[in-house]
């Protein structure tokens, strides 16, 4: 199939070349014109047919699984049944957090580059170099960076700080008046349990299992020394930030899409006529005021274009979130920024490669693909609607 298309393409190119030569010789402009109109029209039709075929193919293969239940329930039976609700929620959350973080940073950078930075200064050059490099880095590298930096450095440090807070809080609890440790520096497992529950219900209530282990180590009913208990808990503090999660995946994704935002906002800012800036400045507005009240409102459609492109990219990319937060199977929805999440793109990959029953998953896989396309389309469409509304309001057509 691919060969046939390739050969056809070559034939068309060669034909065009010779026809053009021949036609210009005959000077028959009318035929020339007609030929090129039909050629360009044909190319357009070809693309539409291709996209239409693709969509139809996906829809037909997936429609057996598409149902309300498919959209609203988690997967079940070893990924051979159920729905994709957690993946829809996960993808939407990821894209939203990514935009909330990435779009403002990109916009502010673009403002700096256009309005404040001196062209050809070292700072401007290095920012531009960084942006261009970012745009060219393969997305899997972003994933590794997210793992190494956000999780390995930032998250780990946050955990260390959090663990120290926990431990010092625990120490205060152990040393306070009325603590079973107060008289001889020892307490039984039950006493520790009661003490912790009384003081920090929310967190230590979850530690019942650990206290059980602690009690077993020292033997049931035996007193446990304070230092021993502290050491035991310290070693068993769960990492909270230093692990793959929604927030790190979103940050990695924001970084990946930053160049897209910067470039489109920059272009939008540049279209604001110099006249308008001068008018504002001549009225005694500061540069900052001018940016806030004239430049940014005018650039809003462009900023939204950037957001749309970002969303489109973010919803489809899987590589950056591979190591930074996406989960293979997670029936529960993410509860916090530190939760892992499911993702439509990754779910397609999982269905396609990790299935226990290929026949059963095939239709699920295509249905998921269809939902991913539809979701991207809905997000884009919403953004386009908002943009055209704003465009009409500010009367700017960039």
Partner 1 sequence: MKSNIKISTQELNLFYGAKQALTNITLDILENQVTAFIGPSGCGKSTFIRTLNRMNDLIDGVKITGKVIIDGIDIYDKNIDVVQLRKRIGMVFQKSNPFPKSIYDNVAYGPRVNGITDKNKLDEIVEQSLKRAAIWEETKDRLKSSALGFSGGQQQRVCIARCLAVNPDVILMDEPASALDPISTSKIEELVHELKEHYTIVIVTHNMQQAARISDYTAFFYLGELIEYDKTKKIFTNPSNKKTEEYVTGRFG
- Give the CA angle between residues 165, 333, 330 to the nearest 5°: 95
Binding of partner 1 by 117 (CB under 8 A): no
Q: Which is nearer to partner 1, 229 or 294 (by Cβ)? A: 294
DSSP classification of residue 148 = I
Using alpha carbons, select from 301, 346, 351, 350 the residue that is nearest to residue 324. 346
Stretch that binds partner 1, among 70-78, 194-202, 291-299, 356-364 (CB under 8 A): 291-299
Using alpha carbons, select from 304, 387, 316, 384 the residue that is nearest to residue 347. 316
Q: Which is nearer to partner 1, 277 or 343 (by Cβ)? A: 277
Binding of partner 1 by 273 (CB under 8 A): yes
Q: Which is nearer to partner 1, 368 or 396 (by Cβ)? A: 396
Binding of partner 1 by 284 (CB under 8 A): yes
CB of 395 to partner 1, least distance (A): 4
Q: Which residues pair with 224 in a beta bridge?
A: 187
Q: How many CA atoms does the CB half-sphere of 157 hold within 13 Å?
A: 5
Q: Using the structure block, give the residue that is written with the tokens 């979701």.
A: 375
Q: Are 370 and 73 in contact (CB under 8 A)?
A: no
Q: Are 258 and 134 in contact (CB under 8 A)?
A: yes
Q: 376-395: which residues touch partner 1 (CB under 8 A)?
A: 394-395
Q: 162-181: which residues touch partner 1 (CB under 8 A)?
A: none
Binding of partner 1 by 289 (CB under 8 A): yes
Q: Are 340 and 313 in contact (CB under 8 A)?
A: no
Binding of partner 1 by 134 (CB under 8 A): no
CB of 115 to partner 1, least distance (A): 11
CB of 170 to partner 1, least distance (A): 52
Give the interface size with partner 1 as a residue count (CB under 8 A).
21
Query: Residue 341's Cα: distance from chain center in Å?
Result: 11
192's tokens: 């520790």
Mapping DSSP to helix (H, G, I), strand (E, B) and coil, where does residue 121 land? Answer: coil
CB of 289 to partner 1, least distance (A): 5
Site for partner 1 (CB under 8 A): which residue of 286, 354, 357, 382?
A: 286
CB of 271 to partner 1, least distance (A): 12
Q: Which is nearer to partner 1, 298 or 325 (by Cβ)? A: 298
Instruction: Give φ, ψ of 156 to 5 degrees.
Output: -65, -45
Site for partner 1 (CB under 8 A): which residue of 279, 358, 378, 384?
A: 279
Q: 298-357: which residues touch partner 1 (CB under 8 A)?
A: 298
Query: Residue 29's Cα: distance from chain center in Å?
Result: 52
CB of 273 to partner 1, least distance (A): 7
Q: Which residues pair with 121 in a beta bridge?
A: none
Binding of partner 1 by 224 (CB under 8 A): no
DSSP classification of residue 81 = E
User: What residues line the site for partner 1 (CB under 8 A)?
Assistant: 118, 273, 275-286, 289, 293-294, 298, 394-396
């Amino acid at each position: 199939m691919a060969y046939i298309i390739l050969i056809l393409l070559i034939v068309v190119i060669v034909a065009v070349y010779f026809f053009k030569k021949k036609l210009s010789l005959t000077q028959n402009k009318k035929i020339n014109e007609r030929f090129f109109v039909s050629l360009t029209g044909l190319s357009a039709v070809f693309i539409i047919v291709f996209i239409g075929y693709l969509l139809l193919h996906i829809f037909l293969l997936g429609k057996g699984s598409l149902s309300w239940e498919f959209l609203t329930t988690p997967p079940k039976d070893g990924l051979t049944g159920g729905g994709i609700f957690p993946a829809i929620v996960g993808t939407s959350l990821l894209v939203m957090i990514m935009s909330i973080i990435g779009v403002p940073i990109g916009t502010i950078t673009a403002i700096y580059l256009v309005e404040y930075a001196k062209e050809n200064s070292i700072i401007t050059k290095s920012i531009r170099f960084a942006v261009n490099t970012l745009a060219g880095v393969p997305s899997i590298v972003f994933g590794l960076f997210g793992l190494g930096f956000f999780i390995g450095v930032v998250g780990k440090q946050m955990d260390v700080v959090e663990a120290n807070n926990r431990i010092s809080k625990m120490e205060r609890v152990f040393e306070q008046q009325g603590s079973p440790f107060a008289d001889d520096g020892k307490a039984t497992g039950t006493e520790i349990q009661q003490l912790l529950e009384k003081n920090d219900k929310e967190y230590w209530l979850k530690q019942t299992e650990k206290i059980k282990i602690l009690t077993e180590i020292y033997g049931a009913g035996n007193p446990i020394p304070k230092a021993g208990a502290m050491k035991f808990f310290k070693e068993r503090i769960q990492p909270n930030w230093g692990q793959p999660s929604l927030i790190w995946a979103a940050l990695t994704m924001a970084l990946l899409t930053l160049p897209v935002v910067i470039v489109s906002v920059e272009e939008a800012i540049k279209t604001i006529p110099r006249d308008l800036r001068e008018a504002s400045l001549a009225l005694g507005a500061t540069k900052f005021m001018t940016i806030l009240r004239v430049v940014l409102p005018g650039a809003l459609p462009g900023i939204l274009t950037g957001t749309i492109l970002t969303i489109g990219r973010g919803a489809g990319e899987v590589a950056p979130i591979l190591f930074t937060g996406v989960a293979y199977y997670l029936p529960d929805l993410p509860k916090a920024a530190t939760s892992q999440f499911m993702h439509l793109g990754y779910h397609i990959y999982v269905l396609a490669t990790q299935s226990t029953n290929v026949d059963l998953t095939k239709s699920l896989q295509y249905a998921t693909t269809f939902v991913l396309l539809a979701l991207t389309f809905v997000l884009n469409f919403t953004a386009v609607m908002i943009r055209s509304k704003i465009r009409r309001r500010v009367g700017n057509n960039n």
